[in-house]
Chains A and B, each alone.
Chain A
Amino acid sequence: MAIEGVDLMKAAAFIGAGLAMGFGAIGPGVGEGYAAGKACEAIGRNPEEAGLLTRTMLVGQAVSESTGIYSLVIALLLLFVV
């Protein structure tokens, strides 16, 4: 089986895409879950502010999701552009 340079590059790009998105998903997943857990705690303490707290939670999660989006972008770049 003759492995050429282009093939090797493609192989590396594919496995790299898998690694990028796979490991990149760990952090945002834990972080967003932690934020949501704390939001639940805060709502438990102060149910009247549930609307405000949910919005704050969503904004915080959106920010911590951005690294996940970066991984997604890099994975897609590796798949389709490289």
Chain B
Amino acid sequence: MDDLTSIPQFVIRLFGVNLVFNTETIFMTWIVMAALIVFGFLATRKASFMPNPVQQVAELFVKAFYDLTKDALDDRMAKNYFPLVCGLFMFLLFSNWLGVIPKLSEPTKDLNTTLGFGIMGFFIAHYAGIKKKGIKQYLSEYFQPIFFMAPLNVIGEFAKVISISFRLYGNILGGSIIILIVSHLVYGLMLPPFLMCFFGFFVGTIQAFVFTMLTVVYISVQVK
């Protein structure tokens, strides 16, 4: 049970500031990145009219997420933003599935990962909003419906980052802790594989999709 609280860290002192690296998370993120690069390479290496299986899967992702982005944003913006959306989903999907493999853990189990993506989505959404509407109209929307609601509107925007990143983190960490505790209680017999399937594949897929959809929705709320 002790491994619940221990986080492998690597600390560098630089100019009087401690730079902390969560080694396990970074390492797992690299594995996910490597898997994605290999997948992308296999999918595009011999791209042809008659697709091979890997290309087929990749086209499925691209098609599905292009349509999704087009529904939420308009055609022109969809072309700009859908690579981000599709990449985000595939990264999160691979990350959430990684815990199913023994000895590996999900990088999304670390709040830093999910918060990073949440902050990224926040900046992208607000950049898109400012670009589309101009800074003046963008700022004026914070003073709706009355001017003194501005602080609450600002807090509401930050709360979106909190809710999107804590949702993913809570679900993945909660799932992995439940698997750990139940495995401990039943000595690893029978139940853990089913829990792995449920939390790893099912909840992992749903939460990756929810995170991606919410990023798209936040962008679309800003530009509309």
Q: Do chains A and B touch in the complex (CB under 8 A)?
A: yes
The bracket for how many chain B residues form the interface is 10 to 19
Q: Which residues of A contact B71 (CB under 8 A)?
A: 50-51
Quick check: A72 and B155 within 8 Å, CB to CB? yes
Quick check: B217 and A66 within 8 Å, CB to CB? no
Contact with A along B183-224 (1 / 0, CB 8 A): 000000000000000000000000000000000010011001
A50-B71, A51-B71, A51-B72 known; A62 vs B156 contact (CB < 8 Å): yes
Q: Check if A38 is an interface residue, CB within 8 A of chain B.
A: no
Q: Identify the closest chain B residue to A59 (Cβ).
A: B221
Q: Which residues of B contact A51 (CB under 8 A)?
A: 71-72
Q: How far is the CA of A51 from the CA of B221 in the complex (A)?
A: 12
Quick check: B152 and A69 within 8 Å, CB to CB? yes
Q: How far is the CA of A7 from the CA of B162 in the complex (A)?
A: 30
Q: How far is the CA of A72 from the CA of B47 in the complex (A)?
A: 51
CB distance from B198 to the nearest CB of A (A): 23
A55-B224, A58-B221 known; A66 vs B72 contact (CB < 8 Å): no
CB distance from A49 to the nearest CB of B (A): 12
Contact with B along A19-63 (1 / 0, CB 8 A): 000000000000000000000000000000011001100100010
Q: Which residues of A contact B224 (CB under 8 A)?
A: 55
CB distance from B160 to the nearest CB of A (A): 10
Q: Identify the closest chain A residue to B217 (Cβ).
A: A58
Q: Which residues of B contact A62 (CB under 8 A)?
A: 156
Q: Which residues of B contact A69 (CB under 8 A)?
A: 152, 155-156, 159
Q: Check if A73 is an interface residue, CB within 8 A of chain B.
A: yes
Q: How far is the CA of A55 from the CA of B71 in the complex (A)?
A: 11
Interface, chain B (partner A; CB < 8 A): 71-72, 152, 155-156, 159, 217, 220-221, 224
